[in-house]
Amino acid sequence: MPTNIESIRPQSWQGIDDIVIVGGGLAGLFCALKLAPRPVTVLAAAPIGHGASSAWAQGGIAAAMSPGDTVEKHLADTLAAGAGIVDEKIARLMISEGPDRIRDLLSYGVPFDRGLEGQLLLSREAAHSERRIVRVKGDQAGKAIMEALIAAVRNTPSIRVMEGYVVEELVVEGRFVSGVIARPDAGKSKTRVAFPARAVVMCSGGIGHLYQVTTNPAEARGAGLGMAAKAGAMIADPEFVQFHPTAIDIGRDPAPLATEALRGDGAILVNAAGHRFMTDLHPDAELAPRDVVARGVFAEVKAGRGAFLDCTKAVGAHFRERFPTVYASCMEAGIDPVTQPIPVVPAVHYHMGGVLVDADGKTTVDGLWAAGEVTSTGVHGANRLASNSLLEAVVFAARIAENIKGMLPESTLYEWPKNAGENDELVTLEDSPQLAELRRRMSAEAGVIRSGEGLKTLIRDIARLERENTRIRFSNMVAAAKLIATAAYRREESRGGHFRSDCPYTVESWRHRTYMTLKDAERTAAEIAG
């Protein structure tokens, strides 16, 4: 039951939470470092580096840094992948600032791969026209970037990291976000803690664990998207979910990833009969846009023929040193990728939609900024270009830091609102039957292939699950699921990561982004419920 705010205050931070960053992934840590020496509190649900998708990113960061590459070429590839709805102005801004952000990461100690003469080694990935992916040891970019940033954060006195704090609510006064309420002990505590703030930066990650099969860590459950939507923020493009075509199909949750770079280096996709099926579907075969490859793999799996990534000729004996992460995952499952094809399946990998932000990372709610996968900047359109996600995270995290520095003078006094409160319910989402059913239903009806009737059924199921489980953390997830499902239902066409079997073609009148609030989604859900 809610109680007076005074019951929270003794457990709250006694200093000034001028800026609170929600999330300890790449966007959150980079933003904190860029804000230094201004005091910042980072709230992370898991130990930093362990609950973030950034740490698992294998490919690297896309940046136009080679002699033959240009901003225009990188932009053209981004626009092509985005299937007609990329915000070109914002994408150009991101790509233009990419090289400077790479240099920032180098200054923080990120050991990007270099050649004998010290130049950065750049690789190519699907749908890129040039070699522009900055990598670390083949498939360890995310891990190495996060390790370097964590070390830099630990050595920055102005950054206070609070690990094991699961943020559950944004505190809203009118149209202004004035803080957050979090639950300590990895979300298992019965007591909640208030963090007042003059600026909140949401860097909470994506929505992968709204689905049954995903490559994302368990913390990526759409909570940040749901909280922002409940606070009144405008949401953009929630229907566009990217499925990685080659998650390793060995029954693990989350599913380990067979990096895009393997196909970039010549690995091919075959079915159980050894047929290379992608050559039937697209001129670029395995290097086609991810949504095309994901549907190709999905079709083979659904038909019972299976799908396998054959790296035996393209990588072969060099697998262990070139792709150690993938090699380890395969060997743990009894698969030797040097001599055996790897079983693969599409898995939710990235959400192109999210909280709408402008060029400075500002949301439509005052006091709330956002960066990383929780956002929709417009740079990905309907389908993210490989390795543009880490680029987006660092570019907009840096822009947020500059914007906050310019807008908000440092505070010396803050009055916490009187009506916040405490909630003593113990949340055990991991054991929730409603969560398990939500993930199954999202995969079945809002997955690689969707239909109007399936989405209507899903929307009714979401409403039922919401009635069955009213706990706040589940309600955040339900809000995110509702936005994805209703937007997918309303978009009666197929574009990028959104494919409707009953509307399998692009429709010119739908060549625009989606903008919706949670109230819009609830109105659509109510109409469907009848």
The tokens for 157 are 């006195």
Which among 327, 346, 365 is the end of a domain? 346
**Calpha distance 104→110 (Å, rounded):** 9
What does the pLDDT look like over 67-84, one tens digit per residue?
A: 899 999 999 999 999 999
**Is residue 48 situated within a structural domain?**
no
**Per-residue pLDDT tens digits for 169-218:** 999 998 899 999 999 999 998 889 989 999 999 999 999 999 999 999 88
| Residue 329: per-residue pLDDT | 95
What backbone phi and psi angles, to 5 degrees, belong to 342? -95, 125
The tens digit of pLDDT for each residue in 331-341 reads 999 999 999 99
User: What percent of the chain clears pLDDT 70, i.e. is strictly above it?
Assistant: 92
* CATH number of the domain that residue 519 is part of: 1.20.58.100
Which structural domain range is residue 279 located in? 246-346
Neighbours of 454 (CB within 10 A): 21
- What CATH number should be reported for the domain holding residue 338? 3.90.700.10
Would you say residue 101 lies in a domain? no
Edge-to-edge, what's the strand order for the sheet holding 40-44? 159-163, 40-44, 19-22, 199-202, 368-370
For 182, phi and psi rounded to 5 degrees? -125, 160
Residue 138 covered by a domain: no
216 has which bridge partners? none
Pairing of strands 515-516, 241-248: unpaired
Where is the domain boundary, 293, 320, 346? Answer: 346
| pLDDT tens digits for range 118-168 | 889 998 887 899 999 999 887 788 889 999 999 999 999 999 999 999 999
The domain tally of the chain equals: 2
- The total number of residues shown for the chain amounts to 530
CA dist., res. 155 & res. 146, Å (int): 14
User: Can you give the pLDDT at residue 423?
Assistant: 54
Average pLDDT over residues 298-303: 90
Catalytic residue of the set 101, 135, 192, 290: 290
Question: What's residue 425's pLDDT?
Answer: 52
With 50 as the cut, is the pLDDT of residue 473 above it? Answer: yes
What is the spatial distance between Cα 88 and Cα 94, in angstroms, rounded to a whole number?
10
Q: Is residue 342 part of a domain?
A: yes
Report yes or no on 258 lying in a domain: yes
* Token pair belonging to 355: 């909280």
- pTM, two decimals, is 0.89
**Position of tokens 């380990």?**
256
Residue 446 belongs to some domain of the structure: yes
Residue 485 lies in a domain: yes
In the annotation, is 154 catalytic?
no
Residue 40 has pLDDT above 50, yes or no: yes
Would 396 be classed as within a structural domain? Answer: no
Mean pLDDT over residues 243-247, rounded?
93
Among residues 346, 379, 402, the one where a domain terminates is 346
